[in-house]
Amino acid sequence: MRTSHRRRATGERGPSARKAGVAMTRTKEAYEKSVSSRCWWYTPYDDGWDGRHKQGLDLRTDEELQRIVAMEREVGEVPGWAQETVGGAINFLPPCGHYLFSLAYLDAVSAIGAETPPAFVHGCFTTDRQRKERMTDYLLCLDAWLAGTGPEAPARELAARGRDEAVWQAVCSDLWNVLGERTETKELLVERTLHRQRWWLKSTVWDDDGGNVFCTDQYLGDLRGSGPHYGNPAFHDPYADEHKSQRLQWVEARLAEICRDWRWFKDVIDWSWLCAPTAFRSLEKLVWSVGKERPAISLPSYPLENPDKVPDFLRCQDTYPDREQSARWSQSFVAALRGWSEGQAAADKVGAGVARRLGETSAIKR
């Protein structure tokens, strides 16, 4: 892993040899030939050697980075499994959070320990069946509202599927109250929200879902089949071009005419990642805003002085991450990597888990 290389490098070489080895890496050619240059997606180093000045960086003076490259030179030829792991599981660690944190990080460590790249990278734009099914439950409720029925109908259907009847009766009742009186603006905003969320259901992938499980009977845009794969080449850019839908084009054009805050709503709807830790809370705040027909929450790009305190009417608290716990885990994880690379005993449960996954030390693993 990236953060463990520095200790390894400084702990095994004499000052003169280390200085000479590092100096040999301070060229564009040496850096770009290294496997270590391939794992910086979504970091300041992602622009590469020539683009380093965009971020105010100079890769030639970054001591830790150069030591990593120097360590690689000492190892010699990097085996294929390590190259695949660097370019996949490590490079595509979720940069902006994932609802299953810390799965992707543990997958990367396990790949290093087993000396085998993972078959699937649980990173960006990946969601499992359970999460998708939770979203379909909420979409059924919104679809029922859009169809003009009452809250009892979707609640009964969800109960028939084995969901908690009392919970979903309360969710549906509150949802109808939140949306309030029907208007053309609300109907079109709900339709647009449904289309986007179904697009996420169809587009995001998982080990057993290559975009061929959910919403397969719905046209949600033309498949592209090219572009990024986020570590999963078998599912190479599974996205569909949503805006190829003429119905969607009409909906957005009409909303631009009648909805004063359409630009705000469009951004919130478009950037509603299903893999995000707070995806369901974001949906909740969006629906609340639809009911008000105005922005009700503050965003960095759309700050509000007095945003609404949106109640938890969708009862989705169980999907929220524990931010403090995640932050503590991250600190322990980094410390565990460093400790393992230096041969130290595990300091806590996180460290013990990391050590167990990594197994015996080796130059390549370090």
The reply to whether 366 falls in a domain is no
Query: What residues have CB less than 8 Å from 241, skipping those under 6 apart?
Result: 221, 222, 223, 224
Query: pTM to 2 decimals?
Result: 0.89
Structural element, H or E, at residue 240? strand 240-241
**Cα separation of 9 and 24, whole Å?**
14
Q: How confident is the model at residue 155 (pLDDT cuts 50, 70, 90)?
A: very high
**Shared-domain flag, residues 9 and 92:** yes
Which tokens is 207 given?
């080990």
For residues 145 and 225, the model is more confident at 145
Amino acid identity at 14: G
Is residue 185 predicted with pLDDT exceeding 60? yes
Structural element, H or E, at residue 246? helix 246-258
Residue-number span of the structural domain to which 152 is assigned = 129-319
For residues 78 and 228, the model is more confident at 78
Strand partners, 223: 240
**Cα separation of 197 and 27, whole Å?**
46
**Shared-domain flag, residues 298 and 152:** yes
**Shared-domain flag, residues 276 and 341:** no
Supply the pLDDT for residue 16: 46
Query: What residues have CB less than 8 Å from 45, skipping those under 6 apart?
Result: 52, 55, 57, 59, 65
Q: Give per-residue pLDDT as tens, 72-90.
A: 999 999 999 999 999 999 9
**Shared-domain flag, residues 12 and 144:** no
DSSP string, 125-176: TB--HHHHHHHHHHHHHHHHHHHT--THHHHHHHHHTT--HHHHHHHHHHHH
Buried b (16+ CB within 10 A) or exposed e, 286-312: bbbbbbbbebbbeeeeeeeeeeeebee
Tell me how many domains the chain contains: 2
Q: How confident is the model at residue 9 (pLDDT cuts 50, 70, 90)?
A: very low
Residue 264: strand, helix, or coil: helix
Is residue 137 predicted with pLDDT exceeding 80? yes
Q: How confident is the model at residue 57 (pLDDT cuts 50, 70, 90)?
A: confident
Supply the pLDDT for residue 11: 39
Q: How confident is the model at residue 14 (pLDDT cuts 50, 70, 90)?
A: very low
Query: What residues have CB less than 8 Å from 215, skipping those under 6 apart?
Result: 198, 201, 202
**Shared-domain flag, residues 27 and 112:** yes
Are residues 182 and 145 in contact, defined by beta-carbon separation less than 8 angstroms?
no
Query: Worst-scoring range by mean pLDDT, 2-6, 12-16, 357-361?
Result: 2-6
The reply to whether 292 falls in a domain is yes
**Shared-domain flag, residues 161 and 110:** no
**Shared-domain flag, residues 213 and 339:** no
Supply the pLDDT for residue 3: 43
**Shared-domain flag, residues 227 and 90:** no
Query: Worst-scoring range by mean pLDDT, 22-36, 153-167, 315-329?
Result: 22-36
**Cα separation of 101 and 123, whole Å?**
9
Buried b (16+ CB within 10 A) or exposed e, 124-163: bbbbbeebbebbbbbbbbbbbbbeeeebeebbebbeeeeb
Q: Give per-residue pLDDT as tens, 267-304.
A: 999 999 999 999 999 999 999 999 999 999 999 889 99
Supply the pLDDT for residue 8: 34
For residues 22 and 272, the model is more confident at 272
Is residue 25 predicted with pLDDT exceeding 90? no
Supply the pLDDT for residue 235: 83
The reply to whether 222 falls in a domain is yes
Query: What residues have CB less than 8 Å from 296, skipping those under 6 apart?
Result: 285, 288, 289, 304, 307, 308, 310
Supply the pLDDT for residue 6: 37
**Shared-domain flag, residues 184 and 110:** no
**Shared-domain flag, residues 106 and 152:** no
Is residue 1 predicted with pLDDT exceeding 60? no
CA-based nearest residue to 231, from 89, 341, 355:
89
Query: Worst-scoring range by mean pLDDT, 2-6, 18-22, 250-254?
Result: 2-6
**Shared-domain flag, residues 67 and 12:** yes
Is residue 26 predicted with pLDDT exceeding 80? no
Query: What residues have CB less than 8 Å from 1, skipping those under 6 apart?
Result: 90, 108, 109, 112, 337
Supply the pLDDT for residue 23: 52
